[in-house]
Structure 1
Amino acid sequence: MAATSDGARAFRPGLVIGVCILIATLEGYDVQAFGVAAPHMAPELGLNPSQVGWAGSAANFGLVLGALAGGWAADRWGRKPVLLASVLAFGLFSLATAFSQGFEPLLLARFLTGLGFGGVMPNLIALAAEIARPGRRAALTSAMFCGMPAGGAGVSLLARLAGEHADWRLLFLVGGGLPMLIAPLVVWVLPETRPQPEPHLDRNLAKALFAEGRLAPTLLLWAASLLTLVVLHLLLNWLPILVAAKGHTAGDGATAALVFNVMGVVGAVALGVAADRAGVRRTMLVAFLALGAAMAAIGAATGLGPILAAAAAAGFMLIGALYVLYGLAPALYPAQVRSAAAGAAVGVGRFGSILGPLVAGQLRQAGWSAGHVLTAMVPVALVAGVAVMAMTYLAKLDNS
């Protein structure tokens, strides 16, 4: 096994977890900054709804490639250098987003930002799996990743406090500068993770993913991740715009994004604890059924109060369920390919994060109302829940 596992356990695990949460928070901020900035960015740059959808998805195209490459690289050269390079990359290109002057430069900046996002995620998942005590993996993974909705809440709050007339570029300047500032923490706190030469270990990724009874669970994990991320990234990129399309202000849209993310933090912790105590299958069944109901409610709501209540419920269930799902991934695969396998799950799933903003953009361009776009996500959420149920049954991952 690589030196990562032993080092992560022995080298100040509390600080390691804290830095990982901070990294996830800044990534969550940068991921959601685009959706919060879009109502002001789109008219200034002359973007139509379809172009907004493509720009929202560009980071996710990069994230797919970054997750696959980052997981593979970390299993060979260590998590620390890959995490450091990824944090610096998404900070630098978030700054570049702030200086984009048109559709094409914006598209390129968001794609390169996504490469950095992708390198972060599989390594955080693998670190959580290695640090967690037995029976606490779901809770620790969810706690670590709750930094992402916390970051999303932070960008929504900043937009709300800055007011309707604030320059949208401020969001990306903050989101790009902070990762640069925490880079020394990554160097100082995370353990050295150079892999030790162990030629007897089988690092065949295809075998790890599909052999020894893992074919069906792997495909179901990928399907569940993809569909869940369709719903999540449609909301992350379009919720403020769709709320405004229902007759409310851009500030009201930012408020909806804020409550979505705040309740996502609560849901991440609550569902992680519930999965460890009450069983993964039971917890996820309730979460996905409730998510379908919340998406139907937010689609039908017209008043700001009901919209905010439905957005809060959707954030609680959707973000909590996704991070429990991330916690299940490492348990499927051998330790020597854990980052690469997690990266494959993140990468394939992230095609959903590409599709979500694109689907919303195309549906809006075709004349669909905001409510119809949101309601269209109900069957997507329910099918994702079915895939999770089947995966946990076939892989015998339920602990109830």
Structure 2
Amino acid sequence: MDKPAAISIETAQEETSAAFKRRFMLRMIIVLTGGMFLDGYILGIVGPVSGKMTADLAISPFWEGLIAAGALFGILIGSPLGGWAGDKYGRKPLFMMDMALFLLSSIMQLFVGAVQLFVDSPGQLFVVRLLMGIAIGAEYSVGWPLMSEFAPAGCVDGLWA
């Protein structure tokens, strides 16, 4: 008589665990896909705004080029650095720090131009763009491997077999 009750409790726990894993994977896919969208936006938006940025901040062509390439330099630095740090300290803590760095540098970049709260020189804007690139590079080398660690064995292209 005790045996069927024990089996049903175990089955309920497995179903709850499977539902939790599905929700977790869905959230992870949404976060990583949203991150890729934001990364593309960050890398692509500098082209259309470069003319206005140069005029508003009185930037020389040298600084304009450095600011435009800052995120790409950051990716070059952040990808291997993120991979190494993810292996050494763990992917989850590094992913959380990476998102915090991305958020902080995005907020700092927000106040360029008319407000100039954080950034008031081309050099500082380059550093902010470089930090954003480092965060993007670390996300590339930490985010998707983190998801693959939690993906179930029967998961192919995000669908369970």
The answer to whether TM tops 0.5 is yes
The offset of 1:239, in angstroms, is 1.6
**Residue 111 of structure 2 corresponds to residue 304 of structure 1:** no
Q: Deviations over 1:21-70 (max 9, x none)?
A: xxxxxxxxxxxxxxxxxxxxxxxxxxxxxxxxxxxxxxxxxxxxxxxxxx
Q: Deviations over 1:370-396 (max 9, x none)?
A: xxxxxxxxxxxxxxxxxxxxxxxxxxx
The offset of 1:250, in angstroms, is 7.0
Q: Quick one: which of 206, 229, 236 aligns to 2:36?
A: 229
The offset of 1:226, in angstroms, is 3.0
Give the Cα separation in 2 of the matches to 1:250 and 1:217.
Answer: 46
1:271 corresponding residue in structure 2: 82
Give the Cα separation in 2 of the matches to 1:238 and 1:333.
Answer: 33
Tell me: CA distance 1:218–1:325, structure 2 relative to 1, closer, same or farther (3 Å).
same
Q: What amino acid is the match of 1:322?
A: Y
Give the Cα separation in 2 of the matches to 1:218 and 1:237.
Answer: 28
1:331 corresponding residue in structure 2: 149
The offset of 1:333, in angstroms, is 2.6
CA contact (8 A) 2:82 2:137 kept: no
Q: What amino acid is the match of 2:136?
A: L
Give the Cα separation in 1 of the matches to 2:96 and 2:33.
Answer: 17
Give the Cα separation in 1 of the matches to 2:71 and 2:140.
Answer: 14
1:355 corresponding residue in structure 2: none
Tell me: CA distance 1:223–1:265, structure 2 relative to 1, closer, same or farther (3 Å).
same
**Residue 24 of structure 2 corresponds to residue 217 of structure 1:** yes
Tell me: CA distance 1:258–1:326, structure 2 relative to 1, closer, same or farther (3 Å).
same
2:72 corresponding residue in structure 1: 261
Larger Rg belongs to: 2
Q: CA RMSD in A?
A: 2.6
Give the Cα separation in 1 of the matches to 2:102 and 2:90.
Answer: 18
Give the Cα separation in 2 of the matches to 1:211 and 1:249.
Answer: 56
The offset of 1:257, in angstroms, is 3.1
2:7 corresponding residue in structure 1: none
Q: Deviations over 1:213-269 (max 9, x none)?
A: 421211211221133123211111112332432224677544323221122121111
1:322 corresponding residue in structure 2: 140
CA contact (8 A) 1:264 1:316 kept: yes
CA contact (8 A) 2:83 2:138 kept: yes
CA contact (8 A) 1:261 1:315 kept: yes
**Percent identity between the two aligned chains:** 11
CA contact (8 A) 2:92 2:146 kept: no
The offset of 1:294, in angstroms, is 0.9
Q: What amino acid is the match of 1:303?
A: S
Q: Deviations over 1:290-326 (max 9, x none)?
A: 2111112222234321111110011001221233111
Tell me: CA distance 1:250–1:215, structure 2 relative to 1, closer, same or farther (3 Å).
farther
Equivalent positions of 1:57-68 (< 5 A) are: none
Equivalent positions of 1:341-380 (< 5 A) are: 341=158
2:9 corresponding residue in structure 1: none
Give the Cα separation in 2 of the matches to 1:299 and 1:212.
Answer: 39
Q: Unaligned stretches of 5+ in structure 1?
A: 1-209, 345-400
Q: Quick one: which of 31, 36, 49 aligns to 1:242?
A: 49
Tell me: CA distance 1:325–1:296, structure 2 relative to 1, closer, same or farther (3 Å).
same
Q: What amino acid is the match of 2:39?
A: L
1:47 corresponding residue in structure 2: none
Tell me: CA distance 1:277–1:287, structure 2 relative to 1, closer, same or farther (3 Å).
same
